[in-house]
Amino acid sequence: MSSFLLIVESPSKAKTLKKYLGKDFEILASYGHVRDLVPKQGAVDTAHDFSMKYELIARNSKHVDAIAKAVKDVDTIYLATDPDREGEAIAWHLAEILKEKKLLKNKTLKRVVFHEITQSAVLAAVAEPREIEMDMVNAQQARRALDYLVGFNLSPLLWRKIRRGLSAGRVQSPALRLIVERELEIEKFQTQEYWTIHLDSHKGRQKFNAKLFQYSGEKLTQFSVNNDAQQAAMVADLLQAGDGKATVTQVDKKRKQRVAAAPFTTSTLQQEAVRKLGFTTDRAMKVAQQLYEGIDIGGTATGLISYMRTDSVNLAQEAIEEIRAYIASNFEPDYLPKAALSYKNKSKNAQEAHEAIRPTSIQRSPQEVRQYLSADQIKLYEMIWKRTLACQMSAAKFDTVSLDLAVGSDENLFRATGQTMVFPGYIAVYQEDQDDSEEESESKLPPLEKGDVVAIDQISGEQHFTQPPPRYSEASLVKVLEEYGIGRPSTYASIISTLQAREYALLDKKRFYPTDVGRVVNKFLTEHFTRYVNYDFTAQLEDELDLISAGKREWIPVLETFWKDFSQQLTEKKDVDRPGVEVLEEACPKCGKHLTARLGKRGKFIGCSAYPECDYTRNMDGEPGESTQPVIVEGRVCPQCSSELVIKTGPYGKFIGCTSYPKCKFIEPLEKPKDTGVNCPECKAGTLIERKSRYGKLFYSCNSYPKCKYATWNLPINEPCPKCGWPIMTIKITKRRGTEKVCPQKDCGHVEQVAAPE
């Protein structure tokens, strides 16, 4: 019989800890949260100090029963849930359940916390247990109450005013607003033409390019040259003035340094996993959880990284010393700075007492553990390992040169810039990726001095057009959520997945687009509940929760202040007009009254203003007079039940379906899909056919769906990958890279260029 019971959240973590703590410990998992608010009105009693009514989560009740049974046989219980607010709250919920069951009499109940699952960290934590921190628990209770009060009161209003099934979230709604506002910016954007003028020259065999920044004594701005005729006249004038030569008037040489990025926080880890590895934020967090909880390395379960939900860039002193020792042993002396490097957190809500995400031991190199990890695990571990190592390495050093060249006179000046790396420093290990930015020029200029004269090979104008701001990627959305203080590190992935699950936004070509539903919901919330989707207000609430967690604020007054204004707003807005209805000039072909554009279950559609008396509807892109009412297929019956067949319109377009639905679920495409003739590489039995997604985008999937769910976005061809041997390749066409043959297997990455970009 075990002497101690230690309770964690995850069963895989339990397996790792068992090997560290031995036979005296029984280790059980709660499998995450054990209690939540009852899912009905009144779960948070706003009239009685916001008392909260909890119930056991049904799916975890059997795990709670196992814990309760084990408690009876031990004297000491350790609650070792995750080291954050959520983990503290789970520990408290477990304690409350055991108290209600009267199982804690003559028992010792303690809280233990470890930020990495290594033997030394676990044994140290168990040796120094503490009490449950109620300030952290109350901060989490306040967060849950706020989310409940917003969701349970706003969602029914959305049902009444827009359509059934919609919901609003306290942090998801400001995130949706970001996506919609960016789309509106793009739609309103007016493209402007502008030109830059360049000089091509050379010295010896080395060519270089310079850009005109001053003409006739005036400094040029972005729109100084804005049409073809103007640039042509300037080019002709400069060619005549220069007479084939340009004179170097100024040479500026500088030595610049670039320091490494800070070690990973949850936010920066998610951003880099999206940019560098092509992961989603959710996928990145799941893999990080696996690395944290422990991997079997040669028969020993080992946690490979520290806790992955953090917004701190601090490293433990012993970790820094180990990293510096590794650099000293494996790199030349110049790669190790004289003193350890420290970083300041950019997040205004950062918990500096925590640590950044790092390997539990820098000595455990990616090469050493590669054989024990899955493809996703090694990719993420290697990225974390390299970033952590790089953050304690010397700065990269560059020689930068700037040349000014006069053409004709000092009133016409071109500038050339170049940069040469003279010492790679941390870049030898790791370099951070950037979102939506141009790569820095690494061009090298020829050695030139003031007074030197060079030949003009060419002067020419280059046409440009201003571009709208880019749509958010997962990485850039996480970055802006953190900058605004919306949500916490543990919530970014769930915010993004919730927006997609509710079909408020879709991710296409790795960029977010708001749906019609998302636009209407956002319009309603920003017009009628402006304060509660305001970025500053959302961030202010996060600050309040941090103060509660730190013991500097009481949680009930924070909820009272919020509820007083919010409930008043709900009362005022219950009779507002239904949004998203636009009256059209067109008359209904059925009854003659005005048609309207409105929001339905699958987006916008056109319907009669006299509804429900008149039930005429049609798709937004339908022809006038066309109806969305099912059309009977003449001369055919359902092959499964002999009922009539009709032509219906669904999320993926028109199809033939049975009138006995849902009893009979027979369907078939209205038009036969185009067969590519390429055998399915997964099931080997079907062929890949062309289909359209609900948003009109082409993709290719197996014709035996749903038995086989293989699909690819790019056109498949019957040609095996020369690198990994996958039975097919695909054709991918982009403006930037032209036409390419691409292996559809993400882990392979083989690409062959077929045709250059136009």
Query: What amino acid positions are annotated as catalytic residues?
Result: 307
Residue 77's DSSP bridge partners are 5, 109
Which among 87, 117, 85 is positioned nearest to 20, based on CA atoms?
A: 117
Q: What is the 3-state secondary structure (H, E, C) of 120-172?
A: HHHHHHHHCCECCCHHHHHHHHHHHHHHHHHHHHHHHHHHHHCCCCCCCCCCH
Exposure string for 417-438, b = 16+ CB within 10 A, e = fewer: bbbeeebbbbbbbbbbeebeee
What's the rounded Cα separation, in Å, for the pair 258 and 513? Answer: 35
- The residues near 131 (Cβ < 8 Å, ≥ 6 apart) are 110, 111
- The residues near 143 (Cβ < 8 Å, ≥ 6 apart) are 85, 545
CB 633 within 8 A of CB 649: no
What is 610-655 written as a DSSP string?
TTTT---EEETTSPTT---S-EEEEEEE-TTT-PEEEEEEETTEEE
What's the rounded Cα separation, in Å, for the pair 43 and 54? Answer: 7
- The residues near 41 (Cβ < 8 Å, ≥ 6 apart) are 152
What's the rounded Cα separation, in Å, for the pair 181 and 471? Answer: 10
Q: What letter would DSSP give residue 691?
A: E
Torsion sign (Cα): 323, 324, 328, 333: positive
Residue 490's Cβ-side half-sphere holds a number of Cα atoms within 13 Å equal to 14
What's the rounded Cα separation, in Å, for the pair 264 and 279? Answer: 16
Which among 276, 752, 217 is positioned nearest to 473, based on CA atoms?
A: 276
- Maximal C-alpha separation, the chain: 99
- The residues near 336 (Cβ < 8 Å, ≥ 6 apart) are 324, 327, 328, 393, 394
Which among 45, 49, 47, 140 is positioned nearest to 557, based on CA atoms?
A: 49
What's the rounded Cα separation, in Å, for the pair 184 and 60? Answer: 44
What's the rounded Cα separation, in Å, for the pair 207 and 202? Answer: 4
Contacts 24+ apart (CB under 8 A), 117-123: 117/13, 117/16, 117/17, 117/292, 117/293, 117/294, 117/302, 117/303, 117/360, 118/302, 118/303, 118/360, 118/361, 119/20, 121/360, 122/17, 122/20, 122/21, 123/20, 123/21
Six-digit token pair at 590? 């059925």
How many beta carbons lie within 10 A of that of residue 565, not counting itself?
11
Which among 39, 279, 176 is positioned nearest to 498, based on CA atoms?
A: 176
- The residues near 612 (Cβ < 8 Å, ≥ 6 apart) are none
Which among 537, 252, 565, 550 is positioned nearest to 416, based on CA atoms?
A: 252
